[in-house]
A and B are shown apart, each in its own frame.
Chain A
Amino acid sequence: MTRTLQTTRDDYLIAGFAALAITIHIAESALPSPLPGIKPGLANVVTLVVLCRYGWQMAAWVSLLRVLVGSILIGTFLSPTFFLSVAGALASVVVLGLLFALSRTLPGWAVGPMGYGVAAALAHMSGQFWVAYAIFVPHSGLLTLYPLLMTLAAVLGIVSGLLTRTILARLNSAPSGGNPV
C-alpha cells in the first residue's frame, strides 16, 4: 500500500516561516543576556507576522516548531531551558488564539500587531515564570522578581509589535509572490 503525502501551500509557508524563526532564534541565543529568561524575542516577531497575515493556526505551528527544532539545534532539547521555552510558547499561543478569536467575532475591536505583541510577550513571560517557580526554583523570593520581569516583557512586547507592524507594511506594499530583500 502506497501513500502519497499531500502537501499544501500552507505546509510550505509554515516550513518557510518556521525556518526563518529558527534562524533568528539561534542567532538570538548567541546574544548575552542580563537575566535568564530575558531575550528580545525577535523570533516571536515571525509568529506575529504569520498570525496577522495567515491566521492563528499557522502561527501556532510556526511558534511550536521553532521551539522544538530550535532547541534540538542549540542542544537544549529536554533541558530545563527547553521546558521553560515550551511553557512560554504554549502560553503565548493560547493567549494569541483567544485574542485572534475575539478579533474575528468583534471586528470593531480587532487587535493589531501592537496588542498581539504585548499580550504574547506577557503570556510568554508568565508561562515560563510559573513553570520555573513551580518546578525549578520554588522560593518565594522569586516572586519579587515577577513584576519586574513582566514590565520588561511588556516593553519588549511593544518593540516586537512595532517591528511586526513595519514588516507587515513592507510585505503588503511588496508585489505579491515576490520576496523582497
Chain B
Amino acid sequence: MNGVKLSRGDAVVWLLAATLLVGLYAMFWQADGHGAEAVVLVNGKRWARLDLFQNQDLDVPGPLGHSHIQVRDGQVRFVSSPCPNQLCVHTGWLSQGGEVAICLPNRVSLQILGSDPRFDAINF
C-alpha cells in the first residue's frame, strides 16, 4: 500500500475505462450536427443519395441541361447550373443537417440529411 501502485486487475480496469472514454468521445463528439449524407432530387424524385465524406463530382440532368454538384470533405454545393438566376450556385456550401440548395428552373434540389436538422422547414 504505497504510492499510486496498481494491481494487475486495477490496471486492466483502468485500461478498459480509458478505452471506454476514448470511444465515447469518438462516438458522441465527432458528428456534431454535421449531416453525413445528402439527397439530390430531380423533379421531386430522389435521384441520388450522397455520402458527404466521399469526395465526388456529378452531373445531374434536368430539363435545361446538367447541374454540376460537388462533394468535398463533408460539404456539398452546386458548382454550376444552366439556370438564369444562379440562386443554387450562390447558396454555396452546405454542411448542416436540413440545409438545402434548390435550382427551380432546372428542377434539381439538394438537401443534407440529419438526425437533428437545424431547420424544421424552410419557406421561400
Report A-chain residues with C-beta under 8 Å of the C-beta of B4.
114, 162
Please state if B115 and A140 are interface contacts (CB–CB under 8 Å).
yes
Counting chain A residues whose Cβ lies within 8 A of the other chain, the interface size class is: 20 to 34
Report B-chain residues with C-beta under 8 Å of the C-beta of A109.
8-9, 12
The contact string, 1 if C-beta is below 8 Å from chain B, for chain A 102-136, is 11001011111011101100100000000000000
Report B-chain residues with C-beta under 8 Å of the C-beta of A122.
17, 20
Please state if B13 and A111 are interface contacts (CB–CB under 8 Å).
yes
Which stretch (B23-31, B57-65, B72-80, B100-108) binds chain A?
A: B23-31
Please state if A118 and B9 are interface contacts (CB–CB under 8 Å).
no
Partner of A150, one of B11, B12, B21, B115: B21
Report A-chain residues with C-beta under 8 Å of the C-beta of B24.
146-147, 150
The contact string, 1 if C-beta is below 8 Å from chain A, for chain B 17-41, is 1001100110111001000000000
Counting chain B residues whose Cβ lies within 8 A of the other chain, the interface size class is: 20 to 34
Q: Is residue A66 contacting chain B, with contact meaning CB distance below 8 A?
A: no
> Closest residue to B24 on the A side, CB-wise?
A147
Q: How far is the CB of A169 from chain B (nearest CB, A)?
A: 5
Q: Is residue A143 contacting chain B, with contact meaning CB distance below 8 A?
A: yes
* Binding site secondary structure of chain B: helix
Quick one: which of A86-100 are within 8 Å of B by CB?
Answer: 99
Report B-chain residues with C-beta under 8 Å of the C-beta of A141.
116
Partner of B13, one of A99, A106, A146: A99
> When A and B form their complex, which 5 residue pairs have the shortest distance between CB atoms, in order from nearest?
A115-B13, A115-B10, A111-B9, A147-B24, A114-B10
Report A-chain residues with C-beta under 8 Å of the C-beta of B48.
none
Partner of A119, one of B17, B27, B28, B32: B17
Give 15 pairs: A residue, B residue, CB < 8 Å, sorted on A.
A109-B8, A110-B7, A111-B12, A114-B7, A114-B13, A115-B11, A115-B12, A140-B116, A143-B28, A144-B32, A146-B24, A147-B29, A150-B20, A151-B21, A162-B4
Q: Is residue B87 contacting chain A, with contact meaning CB distance below 8 A?
A: no
Q: What is the CA–CA distance of A58 and B119 in the complex, to the nearest angstrom?
A: 53
Q: How far is the CB of A127 from chain B (nearest CB, A)?
A: 14
Report A-chain residues with C-beta under 8 Å of the C-beta of B32.
144
Q: What is the CA–CA distance of A151 and B28 in the complex, to the nearest angstrom?
A: 13
Q: What is the CA–CA distance of A179 and B112 in the complex, to the nearest angstrom?
A: 67
Q: What is the CA–CA distance of A174 and B17 in the complex, to the nearest angstrom?
A: 33
